[in-house]
Structure 1
């Protein structure tokens, strides 16, 4: 089995993105959802089998809650990151986000 973690950095403020909703999906089911903590992290994920998954980061709702004046519809609303995991080990999938750009990578 494989473990998963994530964190989000708000690149507008240069701080962890506390309170961003994140959902974890398999091909056919919602596996977990929650909000990032004060460190911008979400750790409450189930162990994963090898396969394909999607993390959905609710970027627009987070930035609106921070007082950002976003257009309707926002340029970025929910940012999906589609990724695959092999058997065993740990996968860390961080997101660096602003209302108009994002970046991700496989962390440690």
Structure 2
């Protein structure tokens, strides 16, 4: 049974991005539909899969990470506007029976992602 998960690591402070707001969006042909909004737990993860089973379907998705708000909440002085405000990672699910893990490594000035396990 497939599932979608995420995890965020704060590379500036060397810790999990606890409390970061994340929005999951399903991207269709002409529109995007919000699926879920959440805050990451103390481990920088959602408390459970974002989607699983029949909820995970073949198609395009977008995870939107509230990076500037997170760093400001940690007392990091950022310019206005911040270099990175929200980081949107758009990805495809080709096989809904697989596990799609989308981690984000982020600082106020850079980020990277990959398909994890």
TM-score range, shorter chain: over 0.9
Deviates more, 1:39-48 or 1:89-98: 39-48
Alignment counterpart, residue 104 of structure 2, candidates 88, 91, 95: 95
**What TM-score does the superposition give when structure 2 sets the normalisation length?**
0.88
Q: CA RMSD in A?
A: 1.1
Which segments of 5 or more consecutive residues in structure 1 lack a partner in the other structure?
A: none
Q: CA deviation at 1:44?
A: 4.4
Q: Structure 1-normalised TM-score?
A: 0.95
1:3 matched to which residue of 2?
3
Q: 2:59 aligns with which of 51, 54, 75?
A: 51
Runs (4+) off by over 6 Å: none
Q: What is the distance in 2 between the residues matched to 1:46 and 1:90?
A: 10
Distance between the aligned counterparts of 2:81 and 2:109, measured in 1?
12
1:37 aligns with 2:41: yes
Counterpart contact for 1:32–1:46, Cα < 8 Å? no
